[in-house]
Structure 1
Amino acid sequence: MDVYGFPAWLRVEHWINALFITLMVRSGIEILATHPKLYGRDDSRPGSEWARFTRKTMPKDKLYDTLDEEESYSPIISLPGHRNLGMGRHWHFFVAIGWVLAGVTYVALLFATGQWRRYIPTSWGILPQAWHDLLTYLSFRLPPHLPGEPFDALQKLAYALVIFVLAPVAILSGLAQSPAVDARFPWFLRLWGGRQRVRSLHFFVLLAFLAFTAVHLLMLAVWGWGRENSLMIFGHGDAPVGGLWVSLVIIAAIIGVNIAVTVWSLRRPRMVQRVLGAVVMALRRALLRPATSHQHYPKAAVAAQHRVNGKPPDSDTYKIMAVHDFAPWRLTVGGLVENPVVLTLEDLRALNTRQSQCVLHHCIQGWSSVGEWTGLPLRDLLDLVRPLPEARYICFLTMQDNGRDEPSAPGEGHFYEIIDLELAHHPQTLLAYEMNGEPLPIEHGAPLRLRLENQLGFKMAKWIHDIEFLSDYRLVGDGMGGWREDNVHFDMEVGI
């Protein structure tokens, strides 16, 4: 019997972790594909990226938006591939929940059973020993294992870094990209150097996991694939032939699961959206929705150029309103309210409350930008119209017709978004009619757009002309809570 054997729970966790990592890496690549550029500054200024994973070049003689910058990666490397950000996010967060729970269980059992001694060095002497082991490997020789342990010093140090440094950094850098977390705790994002630097760090974590996996597989081959896998399958190294074949079966099963979820996502995206979303959105509602925004960026942080997401309405009616500074525009507010109203832009400006906020915009694609927004707090509109007790949601209908204005996007019909009535009471939920001290530009939603600082940017409907209070969002469109939710399978709750 091998003295280096691993307990059953550790062996099971090892293979579960292998499955989770493959799914998270592939879905992470799908998320990266939607904006395949990395920046060092939060303004995400076009041309300032330090890394790009696309050959696309954007036109300089006409308006383009960030949807035009998206890439379509192969399902071989991304989950599910073919420009499916919604599906990629569902899998990334669903698997991340399982990975974190498995990781917490793993670490707890490490300390409860004393197995932590296998992975955590207890002496600084491991550092020179690890360096010596590295030189031994580079000379194409195998260093000795540490006395009574299954690893050499370099391997032990590598496992300690992956388990107790790399994995926590992956989790925390993911949380630091949450608009809800960043809005409620701006200091937490500052610890990481800003939104784009932490996004870049998260990418480096992905590369680190890939590098570790590649070296890990190489070490298995060098030390003896059969015996090493026998240790991690049977708990001892006495069955190298069995370890070889069973490990190949497990690897084939992991590949099979990846293929199955990819095919399922491409063929039945609505089912995936409902099944995974039920878990992910429930957790978001519980943990992130209560987070109210406390952002107060200095005006010096305002980006000189704010990226455009979504093309403006291309109708004669909208163009005529724009030419006349939106004087003919009317905002209709109705539905389940005591006092339905129709307001002009001047009416909105004449209401008693005028609020400005300098905040960080988080796009679901990954880019960000700081801007100053001025307008009417949505809670004040609620005071004016007085929602009925049965009202639970607010629908924002816009003048953008996606079949006409965004022909490259799947689906047709006017863009709309729905939010929970609870979010309307947050202090920085705003109906904005100014941006950076000027009237709201056309490309950013004139004459009126929503600002919802603890959610991702696509929820902040632009070119609004109608607001309706509802009892059930499932009665609108395809019933998923918004145009992008209906057509590209985004989440309705997007605090991360």
Structure 2
Amino acid sequence: MALVRITHWIIVLSVLGLLVTGTGILVSHPRLYWGETGGVGTPSLIDLPIPFIIGPSVWNRPFHFLFAWVLVLTGLTYMVGSFITQHFRKDLLPAKADLRWNRIVGVVSDHLRWKRREADAASTYNVVQRLTYLAVVFGLFPAILWTGLAMSFGVTSVFPILATALGGHQSARTLHFACVVLLLLFVIVHILMLCLAGFWRSVRTMITG
């Protein structure tokens, strides 16, 4: 489906931009806190093993927001289009029979043994892929958006509950970092699965249909 392919690649580029600019912001203060406040001289929750580099946050932050809005608008387009075309129901919603524990364990076992799927089966998502994609679309990405907005004092001055519900601005920053780590793990596993199915063939399919 053209909509899925187009939005997929725009999301890929925007996530890549967010990761690059987000790293630039993080290295300006690679410490994570819990609560409302935190800074140099106060106890930190996690000290990331990277050095302080003062400066990158200044020029990375505007681009980070730009990529974030591209991701949000593209994601909304994808979700609305997927509901209209029934992409979620046809391609992502698992069948009731597939939700049996032994079926899920079997799929995970095949992946762990690096077992290549048959051509017909590889053209559709298995139950683990469907559940994972649904979790990312309806769980992880909204969590990243929420925690990202909760770090903005401008946004929370109007909607303070975004930050207070998470425990404060610094808590939101820590949770935002945790969500991004989960997203990175998803991307790594996703790429490994593409390699198992045939990387270039899968990429070509996502470009040409």
TM bucket by the smaller chain? Answer: 0.7 to 0.9
Aligned in 2, Cα 1:119/1:49: closer, same or farther, shift over 3 Å? Answer: same
Contact 2:99 2:127 in 1 (8 A): yes
Q: 1:158 aligns with which of 117, 123, 132?
A: 132
Would you say 1:23 and 2:5 are equivalent positions? no
Residue 90 of structure 1 and its aligned partner are, at CA, apart by 0.9
Deviations 1:406-432 (A, max 9, x none): xxxxxxxxxxxxxxxxxxxxxxxxxxx
Where do 4+ consecutive residues of structure 1 move more than 6 Å? 144-149
> How much identity, in percent, do the aligned residues show?
29
Residue 160 of structure 1 and its aligned partner are, at CA, apart by 1.0
Separation in structure 2 between the aligned mates of residue 41 and residue 208 of structure 1, nearest angstrom = 21
Amino acid at match of 1:194: G
Residue 161 of structure 1 and its aligned partner are, at CA, apart by 1.1
Higher helix proportion (structure 1 or 2)? 2
Q: Which has the larger radius of gyration?
A: 1
Deviations 1:197-238 (A, max 9, x none): 211110012112211111111111111123222321221xxx
Separation in structure 2 between the aligned mates of residue 165 and residue 127 of structure 1, nearest angstrom = 22
**Match of residue 75 from structure 2:** 103
Contact 2:92 2:130 in 1 (8 A): yes
Separation in structure 2 between the aligned mates of residue 186 and residue 23 of structure 1, nearest angstrom = 28
Deviations 1:115-141 (A, max 9, x none): 112123353852623333112222332
Amino acid at match of 2:69: I
Contact 2:31 2:46 in 1 (8 A): yes
The higher-RCO structure (CA 8 Å, 6+ apart) is 2
Aligned in 2, Cα 1:36/1:196: closer, same or farther, shift over 3 Å? Answer: same
Deviations 1:135-159 (A, max 9, x none): 2222332467997961111111111
**Match of residue 138 from structure 1:** 112
Would you say 1:9 and 2:18 are equivalent positions? no
Aligned in 2, Cα 1:196/1:123: closer, same or farther, shift over 3 Å? Answer: farther
| TM-score (ref. length: structure 1) | 0.39
Report the RMSD for the aligned CA atoms in angstroms. Answer: 2.5
Separation in structure 1 between the aligned mates of residue 182 and residue 19 of structure 2, nearest angstrom = 11
Would you say 1:234 and 2:208 are equivalent positions? yes
Residue 114 of structure 1 and its aligned partner are, at CA, apart by 1.1
**Match of residue 62 from structure 1:** none
Q: 1:121 aligns with which of 82, 90, 94?
A: 94
Gap runs ≥5 in structure 2? none
Aligned in 2, Cα 1:215/1:147: closer, same or farther, shift over 3 Å? Answer: closer
Number of residue pairs the alignment of both structures matches: 206
Deviations 1:323-373 (A, max 9, x none): xxxxxxxxxxxxxxxxxxxxxxxxxxxxxxxxxxxxxxxxxxxxxxxxxxx
Would you say 1:49 and 2:44 are equivalent positions? yes
**Match of residue 422 from structure 1:** none
Contact 1:177 1:195 in 2 (8 A): yes
Separation in structure 1 between the aligned mates of residue 168 and residue 105 of structure 2, nearest angstrom = 34
Residue pairs, 1:61-80, within 5 angstroms:
70-71=52-53
Separation in structure 1 between the aligned mates of residue 14 and residue 193 of structure 2, nearest angstrom = 21
Amino acid at match of 1:195: H
Residue 163 of structure 1 and its aligned partner are, at CA, apart by 1.2
**Match of residue 193 from structure 1:** 167
Higher strand proportion (structure 1 or 2)? 1
